[in-house]
Structure 1
């Protein structure tokens, strides 16, 4: 068994794209998830070079150094927590990261800040705000339901954080989005 670490795999569509490229090359994929591919055997240097060549134009990159792998894992855990898991008020992000990555949170935090030039907390907030935008555009949940789903203590706190990051209130963002959409018959 061999593990490849791939940068920028952030969604299920990314997994499908990478899976498709691995299949074309003929690599024996045992498991694939955000940022990681488990192969049945170690790829040859030629196979790795071919894979790198096809992944780069698609926005992906094979990660070889340990620090970059840890950073990518931090990002993928945060993306999973924000975009794919249900509300869990009992667990802090620092506990989740420490448990999943088997490192002390202070080490992870310092490494992330050093390499990315921002904090884990700011990255986490940016992901949450992107999720809020997505949910506002879908228009299926109230702001109160969105706040609950994303573990905000209140709608006011969500609104303040949203405005701080985007410069807009959630309702203004939603209004702008609606103003830009045209009915299909006007396109």
Structure 2
């Protein structure tokens, strides 16, 4: 088995696109998840070039070096945690990342900061804020339910963090989004 690491796979649609391209190229794989494709055999250099030629225009990139793979795995773990899991886990992020990547959190944190120019914590918060925005726009959950779903200790803490990052309160953000929508009879 050969694992191929792919940068910028951040959602289920990305997985479908990469899967479709692999199938078009006739490349056999056993699984695809965020940032990783498990192939049944090692690719030849021609196959690898063909794959890169179709993935790069779609915004993806095959990652070769170990540090980049670790960074991508950190990002994908955080994205999966925030956007794709109803996470009722009370484990802290450092424990989750250390366990998932089999590295000491200090190493991961220093590497991430060095390469990305921001901290893992700030990246995690940014992902949570994006999820909050998405949930506010859907308008299916109360702010209290959103805070609970994303493991905030209180609505006040969520609101303060949201305002610190976006410059807006969650209710103001929601109001601005609603003001931009035109009623159907005005379209």
Which bracket does the TM-score occupy, shorter chain normalised?
Answer: over 0.9
In structure 1, C-alpha distance between the alignment counterparts of 2:23 and 2:167, rounded to whole Å: 44
| In 2, Cα distance between equivalents of 1:154 and 1:171 | 16
Within 5 Å, give how 1:95-110 maps onto structure 2: 95-110=95-110
Match of 1:41?
Answer: 41
Deviation at 1:53, TM superposition (A): 1.0
Matched, 1:167 2:186: no
Which whole-Å CA distance do the structure 1 matches of 2:185 and 2:73 have between them? 44
Secondary structure of the corresponding residue to residue 38 of structure 1: strand
Distance 1:40 1:184 in 2: 51
The number of aligned residues is 187
Tell me: CA distance 1:184–1:53, structure 2 relative to 1, closer, same or farther (3 Å): farther
- Residue 176 of structure 1 corresponds to 176
Q: 1:48 to 1:184 in 2, by over 3 A?
A: farther
What residue is the counterpart of 1:83 in the other structure? Answer: 83
Q: Which runs of 5+ in 1 are unaligned?
A: none
* Partner Cα separation in structure 1 for residue 107 and residue 182 of structure 2: 49
Asked if 2 retains the 8 angstrom alpha-carbon contact of 1:35 and 1:73, the reply is yes
Displacement of 1:185 in angstroms is 4.2
Does the CA contact (< 8 Å) of 1:129 and 1:162 recur in 2?
Answer: yes
SS of equivalent to 1:163: helix
Determine the C-alpha separation between the residues in 1 that align with 2:39 and 2:79. Answer: 23
Separation in structure 2 between the aligned mates of residue 107 and residue 32 of structure 1, nearest angstrom: 27
Q: Deviations over 1:84-115 (max 9, x none)?
A: 11232421100000001000000000000000
Whether contact under 8 Å (1:2, 1:39) holds in the other structure is yes
Shift of residue 186 of structure 1? Answer: 2.9
Distance 1:44 1:26 in 2: 13
1:50-69 → structure 2 map (5 Å cutoff): 50-69=50-69
1:16 alignment counterpart: 16
CA distance 1:52–1:184, change in 2 (3 Å): farther
Q: 2:93 — aligned with what? A: 93
Q: CA RMSD in A?
A: 0.9
Q: TM-score, normalised by structure 2?
A: 0.98
Contact 1:87 1:148 in 2 (8 A): no
Equivalent residue of 2:165, what SS? Answer: helix
| CA distance, structure 2, for counterparts of residue 87 and residue 102 of structure 1 | 21
Q: Which residue of 1 aligns with 2:74?
A: 74
